[in-house]
């Protein structure tokens, strides 16, 4: 069974939770830029958390379903419609065969993740269904979706849900929709924090940076007060990760996202914590962003709390379905 892409939109790609285990070969993570949002959407439709879904950028996607499916989406503030009805973030919709699902455009933020019951049935390449858009492999033919593509869907193992239409219950709001025009991102000190002087650190932590238009899935480019290093020595390239904020010689920081390279030679001033990566994934040109420091212990505690809450939500949902 399948879904027809009647309109592909600005940039839509098949993604799951990303690719791990191949960094030594230079293979990036790829994957949903907010893996947590895709996990929540997958849990909502009864999928395995790691099932393949769609990442929709800015909007414009239109899908027609070849059979009955349950869908849910999480991410930015998008206007999503099923016929004339609105499907809000974090709700579950039961779609009849032939129905159309339409992502009009993002009001706030720029990305969202759609889960379809059964998941998208593209081949697993290097352990993942994610599209590597830079190296052109994985996902749907290694590329972004185009008009008239036919997306293969897996058969849903669960029994068909009793209700039809759109659910009244929902995922917690701050999970379903995390976009903001002026977010605050929490960070822990970077590997090269001590290479920056007090003035630079003060600039980094007290000013708002604006998101530059040349941002993409590799990274968010930021404009703001110049960040300067104290020393001039060339650094030896080493690993970077999604969340790393590196400072090139231009003094304009880059916040790396899921498609970033595996290694880099620029100094790393900070790392955005895992629970805030989903907020970073929503940044679009003109948004303003501030950074505030937390400890590594705090970052881990926040992550564990969120995982515990997701586990409770999952149990609650399965009781409701039983």
Partner 1 sequence: MQITALGDSALIVRVRDQFEDAPEETLNEVFRAFQLLRDAGIPGVIDLAPAYTSVAIFFDPMVVAKVSGKPGELFDWLTEQVRKIVTAGAHRGRRVRSTRTVARPVEIPVCYDPGFALDIGRVAEQAQISTSEVVDLHSRSEYRVACIGFVPGFTFLAGLPKNLATPRRDVPRKEIPAGSVGIGGAQTGIYPLRSPGGWNLIGRTPLQLFDPIKDPPTLLCPGDRVRFRAISREQFAAFAEGSQNDN
| 191 contributes a contact to partner 1 by CB under 8 A | yes
* CB 97 within 8 Å of CB 3: no
Cβ count within 10 A of residue 241: 16
99 binds partner 1 (CB under 8 A): no
From the list 80, 273, 281, 283, which residue makes contact with partner 1 (rule: CB under 8 A)? 273
Among 138, 253, 267, 278, binds partner 1 (CB under 8 A): 138
Query: Taking CB under 8 A as the criterion, which residues in 6-45 touch partner 1?
Result: 20-28
Dihedral (CA of 285, 287, 293, 296) sign:
negative
Cβ atoms of 86 and 39 within 8 Å: the answer is no
218 binds partner 1 (CB under 8 A): no
**Min dist. Cβ of residue 45 to partner 1 (A):** 23
Q: How far is the CB of 88 from partner 1 (least distance, A)?
A: 30
Asked if 66 and 1 count as a contact pair (C-beta separation under 8 A), the reply is yes
User: Can residue 241 be called a binding residue for partner 1 (CB under 8 A)?
Assistant: yes
To partner 1, the closest distance from the beta carbon of 72 in angstroms equals 24
Stretch that binds partner 1, among 151-159, 171-179, 185-193, 313-321 (CB under 8 A): 185-193
Three-point CA angle 302, 22, 153, nearest 5°: 80
Q: Does 268 bind partner 1 (CB under 8 A)?
A: yes
**Of 99, 125, 103, 100, the residue nearest 112 (C-alpha):** 103
- CA-CA distance, 54 to 140, in Å (whole number)? 10
Helix (H, G, I), strand (E, B) or coil at 252: coil
Pairwise CA distance, residues 207 & 224, whole Å: 8
CA distance linking residue 55 with residue 41, whole number of Å: 12
**Cβ–Cβ contacts within 10 Å for residue 44, how many?**
28
- The CB-of-314 to partner 1 minimum distance in angstroms stands at 14
- The piece of 2-10, 31-39, 107-115, 188-196 that touches partner 1 (CB under 8 A) is 188-196
| 58/283 with CB nearer partner 1 | 283
285 binds partner 1 (CB under 8 A): no
* From candidates 5, 240, 247, 255, binder to partner 1 by CB under 8 A: 240
**Which residues form the interface with partner 1 (CB under 8 A)?**
20-28, 125-126, 132, 134-138, 188-189, 191, 236-241, 243-244, 261-263, 268, 271-274, 296-297, 299-301, 303-304, 307
């Amino acid at each position: 069974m399948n879904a027809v892409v009647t309109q592909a939109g600005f940039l839509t790609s098949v993604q799951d939770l990303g690719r791990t285990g191949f960094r030594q070969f230079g293979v990036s993570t790829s994957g949903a830029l907010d893996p947590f949002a895709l996990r929540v959407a997958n849990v909502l439709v009864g999928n395995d958390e790691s099932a393949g879904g769609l990442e929709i950028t800015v909007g414009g996607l239109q899908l027609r379903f070849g059979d009955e499916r349950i869908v849910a989406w999480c991410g930015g503030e998008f206007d999503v419609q099923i016929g004339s009805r609105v499907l809000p973030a974090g709700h579950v919709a039961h779609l009849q065969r032939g129905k159309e699902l339409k992502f009009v455009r993002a009001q706030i933020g720029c990305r969202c993740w759609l889960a379809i019951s059964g998941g998208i049935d593209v081949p697993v390449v290097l352990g993942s269904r994610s599209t590597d858009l830079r190296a052109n492999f994985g996902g749907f033919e290694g590329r972004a979706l185009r008009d008239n593509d036919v997306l293969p869907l897996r058969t849903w193992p669960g029994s068909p849900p009793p209700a039809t239409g759109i659910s009244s219950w929902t995922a917690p709001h701050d999970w379903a929709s995390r976009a903001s025009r002026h977010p605050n991102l929490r960070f822990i000190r970077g590997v090269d924090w001590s290479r920056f002087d007090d003035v630079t650190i003060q600039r980094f932590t007290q000013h708002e940076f604006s998101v530059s238009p040349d941002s993409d899935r590799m990274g968010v480019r930021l404009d703001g007060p110049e960040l300067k290093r104290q020393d001039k020595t060339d650094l030896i390239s080493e690993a970077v990760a999604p969340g790393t904020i590196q400072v090139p010689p231009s003094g304009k920081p880059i916040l790396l996202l899921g498609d970033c390279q595996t290694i880099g030679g620029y100094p790393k001033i900070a790392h955005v914590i895992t629970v805030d990566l989903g907020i970073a994934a929503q940044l679009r040109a003109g948004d303003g962003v501030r950074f505030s420091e937390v400890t590594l212990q705090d970052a881990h505690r926040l992550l564990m709390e969120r995982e515990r809450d997701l586990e409770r939500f999952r149990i609650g949902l399965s009781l409701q379905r039983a």
